[in-house]
Amino acid sequence: MTLNLEGKVALVTGAGRGIGRAICVALGQAGATVVAVARTTEQIEAVAGEITGTGGKAVAIRADVAEESDVCALFDQLKERFGRLDVLINNAGQGRFGPVHEFSAADFDHVVAVNLRGAFLCCQHATRMMIPQRAGYIINISSVVGFKGYPNQSAYSAAKHGVMGLTKSLAVEAQTHGIRVSAVLPGGVDTDMVRVARPDLDPSVLLQPEDVAQTVMYLLSLSERAAVDQIYIRRRGSQPF
């Protein structure tokens, strides 16, 4: 697949490791100016350095997407430095796991704030930049738990179901402004979160972060005539649907 994103600005949340890092690297290789965002400065600086070290363009901006003030400041910097946004990848996520009867309301609120509220805030600010451009692409990284249920994952599943509702509604709103919105729903990916949530899974059978990144790049390679609502990527050998 040949994809040229020269001149495009792409923002990736949760960019410090795992899926976010892989997406940033793929975007950088395609020529985009990558804005790597996460809470841990050292991680996103390392990702930005990895991209610029191979001739790409990237900057690191620290932000906690669950904090509205951080998101406002992030997009203010984006407008000041670049004046445009072409791609938003909402990848920031955090999982806390346990049975409902033992799960604290504070943990539930935290999971929803990061996974769902953070995606909403970034979508809100991104569309404000993209509407005058009459163009843009928002890709929300959801999960298999966005349509399936697993034990001890009620908060994470509720948040990811919410991401799917946000994606579906925004896709209808945004298309009138020339903006496309899609969701990518991976199954088990070899990340720190999955190792905690599913210690029963053999790491050798898990998807790799690069598999998700390749799917994102596929979406970005489509002609403007095409709109894809969602892509579910499952582990080969796992139960279909």
Question: Mind listing the pLDDT tens digit for each residue in 214-225?
Answer: 999 999 999 989
More confident residue, 70 or 208: 70
Catalogue all structural domains in the chain, each as residue range(s) with its CATH number.
9-233 (3.40.50.720)
Contact 138, 90 (CB under 8 A): yes
- The encoded tokens of residue 234 equal 């499952």
Amino acid 58: pLDDT: 98
Q: What predicted TM-score, i.e. pTM, was given to this entire model?
A: 0.93
- Residue found under tokens 């990284």: 141
- Report the distance separating Cα 20 and Cα 29, nearest Å: 14
Q: What is the mean pLDDT of residues 146-161?
A: 93
Instruction: Name the packing angle between helices 18-29 and 41-52 (round to 10°).
Output: 30
Average pLDDT, the chain: 93
Please determine, for residue 1, whether its predicted confidence score (pLDDT) is greater than 60: no
Please determine, for residue 141, whether its predicted confidence score (pLDDT) is greater than 60: yes
Amino acid 117: pLDDT: 97
Lowest-pLDDT choice from 41-55, 125-139, 146-160: 146-160
Q: What angle do CA 227, 114, 148 make, to 5 degrees?
A: 60
Read off the pLDDT of residues 194-215 as tens digits, 9 standing for 90 and up: 667 677 776 777 788 999 999 9
Amino acid 198: pLDDT: 73
Please determine, for residue 29, whether its predicted confidence score (pLDDT) is greater than 80: yes
Please determine, for residue 235, whether its predicted confidence score (pLDDT) is greater than 80: no
Residues taking part in catalysis: 156
Contact 25, 214 (CB under 8 A): no
Q: How confident is the model at residue 17 (pLDDT cuts 50, 70, 90)?
A: very high
Residue 139 — φ and ψ, nearest 5°? -120, 120
Answer left, alpha or beta for residue 136, where phi above 0 means left and psi between -120 and 50 means alpha.
left
Q: How confident is the model at residue 175 (pLDDT cuts 50, 70, 90)?
A: very high
Amino acid 237: pLDDT: 65
